[in-house]
A and B are shown apart, each in its own frame.
Chain A
Amino acid sequence: MYLLKLLWRNSFRHRLRTTLTIVGITIAILAFGMLRTFINAWYAGVDASSASRLVTRNAISLVFPLPISYKDRIRQVDGVKTVSYGSWFGGIYIDEKNFFPNFAVEIENYLKLYPEFVLPPEQLNAVVHDRKACVVGRKLAERFGWKIGDTIVLKGTIYPGDWEFVLRGIYRGKEQGTDETQMFFNWDYLNETMRKLVPRRADQVGFYMVGVADPSHAADVAAAIDKTFRNSLAETLTETEKAFQLGFISMTEAIIIAIQLVSFVVIIIIMAVVANTMAMTARERINEYAVFKTLGFRGCHIAGMVFGESLVISMTGCAIGVALTYPVARAFGTALSDYFPIFNVAPVTIAMDIGAALMVGIVAAIFPTWRAVTIRIADGLRRIG
């Protein structure tokens, strides 16, 4: 208790310097936490993917469609439990800045594949039986103030024209990481309209979502699906949902690496700042450390004082930084919800914050401790602090 009191009082002996150092650590921890949360948000789709879901797409590129006739043949592959399909619609609601993901899907099986999208049974029934029906996530409905029964008009970009939908269902995420900002509508509505307007684009889907009976055989099932369509006009590429999502992420890998590097550079910079503070502190207190040694305190006691003081400063900054991370992340998440539907501070991010602050506190104290411990008492006493 006595030593804790001494550490605390010593830490705030130079209030301005300590306060500025703590502010620096707070900002560094906040920046580190936000950058890590940003990276996590980038990978949210990957994290939310299921091992029991496969994605089958055109082997050439995702932009090339597959025939709807593949559905029954995929269904017949051993190990396949459920098949749904869909297309990226890319519609715009009023203005381009109102972006949200919207898909035309075979809705009944699609929702079976995604049990994390929780939709009341009566709403599901209404969606399935109304060709123009759509389902949106809770956050998306809140964002635009939509209610069940509202008519929503999207302007097609890939599929021309104005498309009218009736909101029949609002899903909730079962878990914190579930995306609640998407919109789904009946693929049949899209297909019938295309059959009338652009017949050559009818009966085609962008992807198949495949549910496997046993996730441990997912690789075999994927290989079997692709084998079924080998040497056809539209060969397929089937991969796990996670690999499919990672394929998107890999396109922006350089940005992610840059953000990761910046997050670590922030920690290295603050480590240098704290090391400077501790070096100044130790230099000023050499006389006191000599007095402590004179009184019988040993090197381990002196080391405890320097390390303790460094840790008090770094962990105080860390505590404030972590406390601020939550409201700042919430504000960021709200402001960037169009681009990052999932922007949550993960427990591992907080653990990394604490680990980084501990490392800063320890590394910053190494050189000052060495100086304080190794100085000869007679030399230390000659210095007037």
Chain B
Amino acid sequence: MAEPKPPIVRIRNLSKSYRRGSQVIPVLEDITFDIPDGEFLALMGPSGSGKSTLLNLLAGIDTADRGSIQVGGVEITELPEKELAGWRATHVGFIFQFYNLIPVLTAFENVELPLLLTHLSRRERQAHVETALRVVGLADRVEHYPSQLSGGQQQRVAIARALVTDPTILVADEPTGDLDRYSAEEILNLIDRLNREAGKTVIMVTHDPRAAEKAHTIRYLEKGILSDVSA
């Protein structure tokens, strides 16, 4: 029997609420779960269930009201903003629904962006960017601006940008939400390949059951409560 992998993400008693005027709206309530290293997890649930909030919290771009989040052994809820920014730069790769590429930068420059925060030389950065673009199959589109690329191609550039720093976890928020079926399938296959071949831990929020099927594990969030493992 194979030994279970140690968790790369440990979440304990996590709660988050939003305030609208004098009204407090709970979004996540006392969530506790682990994500093993190398996992491909899909988070599903209806709109407003808190799945994007949970993704943001474990990626360090939002702050919890209570609870603990450890990623790779680092308690990120205790990191000050400056250190948290540095941690995100090196440990988290983001894939957004609307790609969020910088329109005035070429595909190459968009992928290079996170590397500007490293100490890599220009030549080293170039090598990393070329590798990342080759992995996503866009080696021939380096000089193209986002407006010159299709939705699927833009998302692949976004994936290359997420990969280029070799992060600990990849988080994807509805990565196929803005794509046609064919492009969505391509992107899911690419993410799946990164998980299987490169061993990247992937946490993906999706509404799409077909997308979720690619994941090893699916968890449901409803009214801030996380349900059991279902895949």
Contacts and interface: CB of A to CB of B under 8 A. Distances in A.
Interface of A: 2-3, 5-6, 9-10, 13, 287-288, 291-298, 376-378, 381, 384
Contacts of B46: none
Nearest to A3: B116
B31 interface: no
B8 interface: no
Interface in B68-100: 81-82, 85-86, 88-90, 94, 96, 98, 100
Contacts of A378: 53, 56, 61-62
Contact of B62 (A9, A288, A297, A376): A376
Given A9-B104, A378-B61, A384-B98, A2 B109 contact: yes
11 contacts: A3-B116, A6-B104, A9-B104, A291-B96, A291-B100, A295-B114, A296-B85, A296-B86, A298-B81, A377-B61, A377-B62
B85 A297 contact: yes
A294 B105 contact: no
Contacts of B81: 298
B103 interface: yes
B196 to A, nearest CB: 25
A2 B102 CA distance: 13
Contacts of B86: 296
A145 B16 CA distance: 88
Interface of B is mostly: helix
A294 B104 contact: no
Report, nearest first, the 6 A-B pairs whose CB atoms are least far apart.
A296-B89, A9-B104, A377-B61, A378-B62, A291-B100, A298-B85
Interface residues of B, number: 27
Nearest to B89: A296
Given A376-B62, A378-B61, A296 B117 contact: yes
Given A2-B109, A296-B90, 19 more contacts: A2-B116, A6-B102, A10-B104, A13-B104, A288-B102, A293-B85, A294-B59, A295-B88, A295-B89, A295-B117, A296-B114, A298-B85, A377-B56, A377-B62, A378-B61, A378-B62, A381-B61, A381-B96, A381-B100
A293 B92 CA distance: 12
A192 B93 CA distance: 99
A382 to B, nearest CB: 9
Interface of B: 53, 56, 59, 61-62, 81-82, 85-86, 88-90, 94, 96, 98, 100, 102-105, 109, 112-114, 116-117, 161
Contacts of B85: 293, 296-298
Contacts of B94: 294-295
Given A2-B116, A294-B61, A378-B61, A13 B103 contact: yes
A364 B109 CA distance: 28
Central interface residue in A288, A295, A381, by most chain B CB within 10 Å: A295
Nearest to B18: A378
A294 B88 contact: yes
Contact of B105 (A6, A293, A381): A6
A375 to B, nearest CB: 12
A384 B100 CA distance: 9
Contacts of A2: 109, 112, 116
Central interface residue in A292, A294, A298, by most chain B CB within 10 Å: A294
B60 to A, nearest CB: 9
Central interface residue in A291, A296, A377, by most chain B CB within 10 Å: A296
Nearest to B88: A296
A50 B131 CA distance: 73
Central interface residue in A6, A13, A297, A381, by most chain B CB within 10 Å: A381
